[in-house]
Amino acid sequence: MYYSTHYRSPMGDILLIGDEDNIISLLIGEQKYIENAVPKNITEKDDNPILQECIAWLDDYFAGKNPKLSRLPLAPIGGEFKQQVWKILTEIPYGELTTYGCIAKEVAKRMGKDRMSAQAVGGAVGHNPISIIIPCHRVVGANGSLTGYAGGIEKKVKLLKHEGVDMTGLFMPKKGTAL
């Protein structure tokens, strides 16, 4: 059984989805690519303990407290490759950035491959079903482009500024906002 609740944040309305044991999805507004992130048969349940812990985590995050990811049991829905990418995303420290290329190198290493496509990584990053908590907003293009954020580039910028990221050298992409 899956449960949901809504959370009002500085980013707008967030839909939280979980089961009895894990957070499954955190979706910001009209986020792209949600078709596989939202399970069927969801019951709205504001008092679900897992969702309440997620709300407490988000309250701490938006208060600037840098809460530990280990507080939350996460179970995003996706295949092995996406799971590898999302695991690496959870290792990006608060207020720091990495690139799609760096993640591609790390995924290749962990999967025992010679190389991995940064574009494939971009696709997995873009389909992250637990935005903010699995911090896909901390990934930028090698040239400093703020490309790609399923919740919208403006929200990505807002999250990075909230974390105190030095925005020097970063720029909005000229066309398209998703990889």
Question: Residues 58, 109: contact at Cβ < 8 Å?
Answer: no
The interaxial angle of helices 118-126 and 80-89, nearest 10 deg, is 80
3-state secondary structure labels for all residues of 104-117: HHHHHHHHCCCCCC
Q: Residue 140 and residue 123: Cα distance in Å, rounded?
A: 13
Task: Give the residue from 150, 135, 126 showing the smallest Cα distance to 58.
Answer: 135
102 among known catalytic residues: no
Instruction: Pick the catalytic residue from 51, 107, 132, 136.
Output: 136
Cβ contact 16:54 at 8 Å = yes
Active centre residues (catalytic)? 136
